[in-house]
Amino acid sequence: MAVLFFTYCPGGQKKPRFGFEARIETISPDKRIFLRRLSEPFACDLRLWPRIRMDLRPVIYAFCENQEFKIVDISGSSAHFTLPEEEDSPSYKVGTIVQIKFVFENGETFADCEITRHWIDTTGKNHLAVQFIGSNEVNDFIKNIFARNQNVRPLKTASSRKNRRRR
């Protein structure tokens, strides 16, 4: 199953917002969802935080035109990178098709990608968002990584509506 990022505001307040990563374990016939929590709740700003925290992300490398891209966020259909800070770095334009090589702990694969967004953040880092085109093996590698992940803890469930409000 996919890794999801859940957020909530304790006490009904809009700030601070907390979040955690989790995986859906099962969905019961009466449509209750059982999760396996992958991280402890932490304060987060959704506009600044990647979907999967960097310290939980497995070792994955990405290369394009002989340059290493730092992976910020990756799924089976898209990825978000920061680009190297080199003077001779190629210019990437939205709509351009590029081939990116992904190196995982247990293999490597190539994916044709369309650049969907290119921006510079407030700290001056160059960012690139891509959408995978056609079939690729990236999703299979990601599924295998999370299937092997042993650092998971079961999510504690609230036994009553009263307990849910306290969280």
Domain boundaries, the chain: 3-50+149-162, 61-148
Q: Which of 65-74, 135-144, 149-158 has the lowest mean pLDDT?
A: 149-158
Q: What is the pLDDT of residue 113?
A: 93
- Where residue 57 falls among pLDDT bands split at 50, 70, 90? low
* 17 and 5 Cβ atoms separated by less than 8 Å: no
- Model confidence at 47: pLDDT above 90: no
For the residues 11-15, what does the mean pLDDT come to? 74
* Owner of token pair 């009553």: 160
- Model confidence at 164: pLDDT above 90: no
* 16 and 43 Cβ atoms separated by less than 8 Å: yes
> What are the beta bridge partners of residue 90?
none
Q: Which of 62-71, 119-128, 142-151 has the lowest mean pLDDT?
A: 142-151
* 3 and 36 Cβ atoms separated by less than 8 Å: no
Does the domain at 61-148 match CATH 2.40.30.10? Answer given as no
- Where residue 162 falls among pLDDT bands split at 50, 70, 90? very low
Average pLDDT, the chain: 76
- Model confidence at 28: pLDDT above 60: yes
- Model confidence at 11: pLDDT above 50: yes
For the residues 143-153, what does the mean pLDDT come to? 53
Q: pLDDT per residue over 106-116, tens digit each? A: 788 899 999 99
Q: Phi, psi at residue 144, to the nearest 5°? A: -65, -40
